[in-house]
Structure 1
Amino acid sequence: MNIVTVNNVPIARATLIREVQNHAAASPAEAWSAATRALVIRELLLQRANELGLIAVPIEQDGARETGEEALIRTVLECEVHTPKADDATCRRYYDSHPSRFLTPDLFEPAHILFKARQDDEAAFALAIAQAQAVLVELTAHPDRFERLARSLSVCPSATEGGRLGQIVLGETSPEFEAVLVNMQENQILATPVPTRYGVHILRLDRKISGVTLPFEAVRDRIASYLEVRTWRRAVAQYIFLLAGQAQIVGFDLPGSSSPLVQ
């Protein structure tokens, strides 16, 4: 294993071993590379802080107190990386260019009758499907009986409400359930049973409320925060790129620019 140095300062193998634990990766080699990169960048920033003669006071963030090195890194970035605030025009352009990001989720009001059975129990699952199909025959002729049948047959707490599940958004129920729900019309009883990991469902959609675009004023601050964080991260990456270009890094390839830092 090559010894990694940053301006002749070695990164200890023990430090690398500890850092690897912070980097989930597809392979040990990738985790090692990510850990090495993080430590090289850390050393670059600490050396720059020392070069500038910075003194940092650790602060508490999210319930944890910074270490001295973390405080120095924060301070050097605060001193050397400056980015603009997102003004109204910038936020408005982002809002107009990404309308789908500001849609409220669609709301669904489904009702169901659940015949509980595990899919790995073939006999029980086949029986549940047969029961659901038989009930669907009755509902085709008498859709007004849905609530009564749900109360008497459904193995779900919603049975006491006639099978009604209240308002839901996508992601709150099973994927199989939602895959058919999104294509249903209001007041439709699906003609085929819906198998899920919970069992077999007869599904009715009582109401769908389509999402609406939130007004710009309601999301302006959120957009500004997102844009400012994105801009800051890009600026930090460029700053590290410049630091790497001015440094002598041995044993690890960290791309850098030879352009001088402005002091």
Structure 2
Amino acid sequence: MSADLTERPVPRPEPQMPSACASGGCGGGSGGGTTATIHVHRRGRPGAEPPAYVAVRVNGTVIAPEAIAEEAQQHPAPDPASAWRAAARALAIRELLLQEAHRLGLAAEPETDEAGRREVDEEALIRAVLETQAAPSSPTREECLRVYEQQRERFRTPPLLEARHILVEPGGDDEAGWDAARHQAATIAREVGDDPAAFAEAAQAFSSCPSKMQGGSLGQLQPGELVPAVQSAIEALPEGMTGREPVRSRFGWHVLRLDRRIPGRQLPFELVESRIADMLEARAWTLAAARFTASLAEAATLEGVALGKDELEAQLW
């Protein structure tokens, strides 16, 4: 398939634990488990003045305005005040967990992740307190099966399209060049009709895409795998037909043919059970960490920051 046409989707991340960084990846993480890590950012603009907002204290411990200002850069928000409040909550959560770790006399045992990044001691302490005080039970097979039965559509292979194209590039970037390329593409589409052999011959003769060596074949395509204009045009074609109207992309004009539709199939439970278990475990860690943090916040003396249920849920998700 032509690499030019592909637009691969980015894998979607699993839910994360409450973190001082909503975006993650700041030089340290736990390895080998579904436990939580609070990441601490110290990347600010040198000399940047923090906003003049209220002082933030957790059980009498002051969270420096400069630290909040630096952390606020990791919390996209519609305005500086909202970013400041989100950063203050994140650092207050971190401070609560660190204080609890010290109260319990826990020792930091930093781990190294698969990329070779080592936790800082504070992150290791936060992980330790969550592992010892908020670890949820592992999901049962029955729970996984319930999710599978309730959300069967999530556990299907994607539908596939077997398609071809002929790419006619314009001879120049001006309007005349594009018009000439469109005229040629329309002529090809009209002449080859729905004959697959004629399409393959025309692809070899006229296409500017390397796929011409395979008769224009794009292989088996998943939804969203091509640039949107081409993808949507192929999806709209009846099986076994060539589109009579060329489709324009930034690469040129495309003559498109849909050879076959392959419907998605249901994956058996045994094949996705571990995936469901991982998803439920990650969610359970998130909720358990939120409940534990909420209990600490309820018993704490907080100034300048709110850590009620609504605030914690907003910080978490």
**How many corresponding residue pairs?**
257
Return the alpha-carbon distance in structure 2 between the equivalents of residues 113 and 171 of structure 1.
Answer: 19
Q: Which residue of 2 aligns with 1:261?
A: none
Q: Is structure 2 residue 152 aligned with structure 1 residue 99?
A: yes
Q: Which residue of 1 aligns with 2:11?
A: none
Unaligned residue ranges in structure 1 (runs of 5+)? 258-263
Q: Which residue of 2 aligns with 1:150?
A: 203
In the alignment, which of 268, 271, 274 is matched to residue 221 of structure 1? 274
The more displaced of 161-170 and 235-244 is 161-170
Kept after mapping to 2: 8 A contact 1:107/1:167: yes
Give per-residue Cα distances to partners, 1:227-248, cap 9 Å, x unaligned: 0110110111111111111111
Return the alpha-carbon distance in structure 1 between the equivalents of residues 70 and 117 of structure 2.
Answer: 19
Q: Is structure 2 residue 104 aligned with structure 1 residue 52?
A: yes
Give per-residue Cα distances to partners, 1:89-133, cap 9 Å, x unaligned: 111110011111111112222111111239974322222221122
The change in CA–CA distance for 1:215 and 1:252 in structure 2 (over 3 A counts) is same
Kept after mapping to 2: 8 A contact 1:119/1:199: no
- Secondary structure of 1:56's aligned partner: coil
Identity over the aligned pairs, expressed in percent?
Answer: 43
Q: Is structure 2 residue 60 aligned with structure 1 residue 8?
A: yes
The structure that has the greater radius of gyration is: 1
Q: Which residue of 2 aligns with 1:190?
A: 243
Instruction: Note the C-alpha offset of 1:196.
Output: 1.6
The more displaced of 14-23 and 34-43 is 14-23
In the alignment, which of 26, 31, 36 is matched to residue 88 of structure 2? 36
Which amino acid is 1:6 matched to? V
Which amino acid is 2:70 matched to? R
Unaligned residue ranges in structure 2 (runs of 5+)? 1-52, 311-317
Give per-residue Cα distances to partners, 1:162-214, cap 9 Å, x unaligned: 21122222232111111122232321111211112221111111122111111
Instruction: Note the C-alpha offset of 1:26.
Output: 4.0
Which amino acid is 1:46 matched to? L
Q: Is structure 2 residue 224 aligned with structure 1 residue 171?
A: yes
Return the alpha-carbon distance in structure 1 between the equivalents of residues 199 and 273 of structure 2.
Answer: 45
- Secondary structure of 1:195's aligned partner: strand
Return the alpha-carbon distance in structure 1 between the equivalents of residues 108 and 171 of structure 2.
Answer: 60
Q: Which residue of 1 aligns with 2:29?
A: none
Kept after mapping to 2: 8 A contact 1:118/1:198: no
Return the alpha-carbon distance in structure 1 between the equivalents of residues 209 and 130 of structure 2.
Answer: 55
RMSD: 2.1
Return the alpha-carbon distance in structure 1 between the equivalents of residues 194 and 74 of structure 2.
Answer: 61
Q: Write 1 or 2 for the structure with the bigger share of helix.
A: 1
Return the alpha-carbon distance in structure 2 between the equivalents of residues 136 and 157 of structure 1.
Answer: 19
Q: Could you state the TM-score of these two structures normalised by the residue count of structure 2? A: 0.75
Q: Which residue of 1 aligns with 2:71?
A: 19
Q: Which residue of 1 aligns with 2:142?
A: 89
Instruction: Note the C-alpha offset of 1:225.
Output: 0.8
Return the alpha-carbon distance in structure 2 between the equivalents of residues 120 and 16 of structure 1.
Answer: 50
